Every structure is written in structure tokens, then in C-alpha cells.
């Protein structure tokens, strides 16, 4: 686990560790649950650090269906960060659409934020995302409702 901890530390210091994306891709499939969680965080952090490499999207998309809510939340976070600087495609939009209906309120809330970033920063919404966000104004979760207010 030292490899991922060192990588995490470097990413927090905003070091460019793009060369690690191929290894992270492998670990996203082969790692245990804790490793996959750290991988999802590291990849999302790379997006936050504005590393413009489509492999970030590739890795995040493969992790969208994870049974771990924290991983799915990291996926939404990473997609939202990538959308913030225009790195977004149909796969991102479809992943966010899926995550907006997640059973976890933290995943839904982060997906709401990501949807807002896609709408505002990329202008790629086909109308569904905005409509879905508006329908979520009555979500049972206060966290999600506040995220919707922010996103719209």
C-alpha cells in the first residue's frame, strides 16, 4: 500500500504523476477493495489537479458501477473536476446520469455537483441533466437538496 500512499502524498502536493495512470488502470481492476478506493481517489485528485489526460476518464468510467459508495462518490468528484476544465464526453454524462439515481446520498450529492459542472462548464447537456436536477429539488436528503441549489 506504500505505493498508493506515496502517490496520494504527491498528488496532494500537486505533483504531476501522469506516468502512473497505466498502473492505476491495472489496479482499478486487480486491486482489493481498499486499493480500488485509493485508486479512485488518486485518479479524481489528478482530475482536480487539472491533468488533461483522457486515461483519467477511462479509469473513472470503469469504476462507476463499483459496489463501494465511496468509490462511486470519487468517480462523480473526478468527472466533475474534469468537466470543470472541459474534459468531458458522453461517457461522463452517462456516468453522472447513473450516479444521480444512486442509493447513497453522498454519491447523489456529488453527482449533482458534477452535473452542474457539466451543464455550466461544458454546455454538453442534452436537457436531461438540468431536468433531472430540477426534479431532485425534493430529494429526501438535505445534503442532496443543497447540492441541487448550488448546481442550478
Distance from C-alpha of 77 to C-alpha of 74, rounded to nearest angstrom? 5
Interval 22-41 mean pLDDT:
96
Domains of the chain: 2-151 (1.25.10.10)
Instruction: Give the global pTM.
Output: 0.94
Answer yes or no: are the C-beta atoms of 77 and 111 closer than 8 Å: no
Quickly count: other Cβ atoms within 10 Å of residue 27's Cβ. Answer: 20
Residue 146 has pLDDT above 90, yes or no: yes
3-state secondary structure of 66: coil
**Helices 105-117 and 128-135 sit at what angle, rounded to 10 degrees?**
140
Express as a percent the part of the chain with pLDDT over 70. 99
pLDDT digits (tens, 9 = 90+) for 37-96: 999 999 999 999 999 999 999 999 999 999 999 999 999 999 999 999 999 999 999 999
Half-sphere exposure of 33 (CA within 13 A, CB side): 5
pLDDT digit string, tens, across residues 62-77? 999 999 999 999 999 9
Amino acid at each position: 500500500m506504500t505505493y498508493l500512499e506515496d502517490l496520494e502524498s504527491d498528488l496532494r502536493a500537486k505533483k504531476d504523476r501522469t506516468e502512473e495512470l497505466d498502473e492505476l488502470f491495472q489496479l482499478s481492476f486487480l486491486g482489493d477493495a481498499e486499493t480500488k478506493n485509493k485508486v479512485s481517489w488518486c485518479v479524481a485528485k489528478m482530475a482536480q489537479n487539472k491533468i488533461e489526460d483522457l486515461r483519467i476518464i477511462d479509469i473513472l468510467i470503469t469504476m462507476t458501477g463499483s459496489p463501494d459508495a465511496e468509490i462511486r462518490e470519487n468517480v462523480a468528484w473526478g468527472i466533475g473536476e474534469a468537466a470543470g476544465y472541459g474534459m468531458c464526453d458522453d461517457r461522463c454524462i452517462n456516468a453522472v446520469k447513473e450516479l444521480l439515481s444512486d442509493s447513497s446520498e453522498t454519491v447523489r450529492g456529488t453527482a449533482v455537483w458534477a452535473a452542474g459542472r457539466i451543464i455550466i462548464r461544458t454546455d454538453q447537456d442534452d436537457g436531461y441533466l438540468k431536468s433531472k436536477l430540477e426534479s431532485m429539488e425534493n430529494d429526501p436528503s438535505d445534503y442532496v437538496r443543497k447540492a441541487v441549489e448550488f448546481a442550478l
